[in-house]
Amino acid sequence: MNRQRALVTGGAGFLGSHLCDALLAEGYSVVAADNLLTGKRSNLDHLRNETRFEFQEIDITEPFDCGEVNYVFHFASPASPVDYALHGIATLKAGSQGTFHALDIAHKYGAKYLVSSTSECYGDPLEHPQKETYWGNVNSIGPRSVYDEAKRFTEAVTMAYHRYHQVDTRIARIFNTYGPRMQLNDGRVVPNFMKQALRGEDLTVYGDGSQTRSFCYVSDEIDGFLRLAKSPEHGPVNIGNPTEFTILECARCVLAVTGSKSKICYEALPQDDPKQRCPDITKARTRLGWEPKVELETGLRLSLDYFRKAVG
Ligand code: UDP
């Protein structure tokens, strides 16, 4: 039995809470730290009687000490465009001060460290699909910059602690991920479309719907994190599904899965909305032996119960 203790910052969030479950299943004791700005305590309700699990309400933008750990998973940050627009300064602080503090914990205890970064590091990409070697096309002063630049800075701090303090670090670049526990009102495309379809409202496609995203189901994404966590890979690794869909195709898929009679309506495209996004996962395939298994339609079906209950 693995007697290691792991810290998950952002542990009450969508991905953080699934990661807590996976680490507990691997035999870890887990401490989830979250300031509950966008995370929800209810994402961890099912762990209430788990003796190897502990929740600490911590704001990681202030120095903190969660006690000795062997692994730090730094996942704390607002992550949806609606959330980081609402909490822009908190997002910048989570990526900057929060990252220093998470790395200080790893350094202090000699713990391994894995941080959630993002495909937003590539901005509105000029290379397609995006390899880890692509440096990105980011508007440093646009509305998305609070997230994009915070995460680029997160990567820089992480590499600095690796180089200067020899912290054993890893960087996961996450592409659009979906599944149960996404907040209905976080504004992301899958919860928006599911909510609208289940309520019989029009599905709001922004722009003409020709922009693309590639959607990874949460169980695949978590499997990628665990493989990366066990690997010696210090450079960034794309963890995402390489099957690309237009947003219009995504809307049609949601309509098919929900059996909804909702119509599609068109709204203005948000500023700096990336036109195309698709990971090149050659590195994850070859170095981690990882690739996603769950297709979009299957993943949406697996999420349906959760969204039905959330809609009420
Ligand atoms: N989008 C949309 N309708 C919605 C929500 C989002 O058409 O109700 C589009 C959005 O403009 C973007 C894509 O879906 O092109 C993905 O948006 P999301 O907010 O999920 O994540 P992003 O990949 O932009 O961070």
Matching residue, tokens 């299957």: 298
Global pTM exceeds 0.85: yes
Matching residue, tokens 């750990």: 69
| Phi-psi domain of 305 (left: phi exceeds 0; alpha: psi -120 through 50; beta: other) | alpha
Return the half-sphere exposure (C-beta side, CA atoms, 13 A cut-off) of residue 282.
Answer: 6
Beta strands in 247-304 (DSSP E): 264-267
Distance of alpha carbon 152 from alpha carbon 137, whole angstroms: 12
Residue in 82, 84, 188 to alter for ligand 1 test, most ligand atoms within 8 A of Cβ: 188
**C-alpha distances out from residue 12 to 21, 39, 169, Å:** 11, 5, 22
**C-alpha distances out from residue 145 to 23, 36, 272, 308, Å:** 32, 22, 10, 33
**What confidence score (pLDDT) does residue 3 get?**
74
Determine the distance separating the centroid of ligand 1 and the alpha carbon of 89, expressed in angstroms: 22
Number of H helices and E strands in the chain, helices first, is 10, 13
Ligand 1 neighbour 196 (Cβ under 6 A): no
Q: Give residues with Cβ within 8 angstroms of 242, minimum separation 6.
A: 129, 214, 278, 279, 280, 281, 292
Nearest CA to ligand 1 atom 19: 188
84 is annotated as an active-site residue: no
| Phi-psi domain of 200 (left: phi exceeds 0; alpha: psi -120 through 50; beta: other) | left
**232 is a domain residue:** yes
Determine the distance separating the centroid of ligand 1 and the alpha carbon of 262, expressed in angstroms: 18
User: Which structural domain range is residue 50 located in?
Assistant: 5-176+217-241+280-293
**200 is a domain residue:** no
Identify whether the C-beta of residue 98 lies closer than 8 Å to the C-beta of residue 9.
yes
φ, ψ dihedrals at 213, nearest 5°: -140, 160
Ligand 1 neighbour 250 (Cβ under 6 A): no
Distance of alpha carbon 155 from alpha carbon 99, whole angstroms: 9
**What confidence score (pLDDT) does residue 1 get?**
40
Distance of alpha carbon 46 from alpha carbon 21, whole angstroms: 10
φ, ψ dihedrals at 5, nearest 5°: -115, 130
**What confidence score (pLDDT) does residue 200 get?**
97
**154 is a domain residue:** yes
Identify whether the C-beta of residue 167 lies closer than 8 Å to the C-beta of residue 107.
yes
CATH number at residue 13: 3.40.50.720
| Overall domain count for the chain | 1
Ligand 1 neighbour 192 (Cβ under 6 A): yes
Mean pLDDT per block of 10 residues along the chain (312 residues) reads: 84 98 98 98 97 98 96 97 96 98 98 98 95 97 96 98 98 98 95 98 98 97 98 98 97 98 97 93 98 98 98 93
Ligand 1 neighbour 79 (Cβ under 6 A): no
**248 is a domain residue:** no
**C-alpha distances out from residue 132 to 121, 230, 282, 294, Å:** 10, 19, 10, 23
**246 is a domain residue:** no
**181 is a domain residue:** no
Ligand 1 neighbour 272 (Cβ under 6 A): no
* Token couple for 32: 């989830």
Distance of alpha carbon 281 from alpha carbon 237, whole angstroms: 8
**C-alpha distances out from residue 269 to 46, 145, 208, 302, Å:** 38, 17, 8, 29
**229 is a domain residue:** yes
Residue count of the chain: 312
**117 is a domain residue:** yes
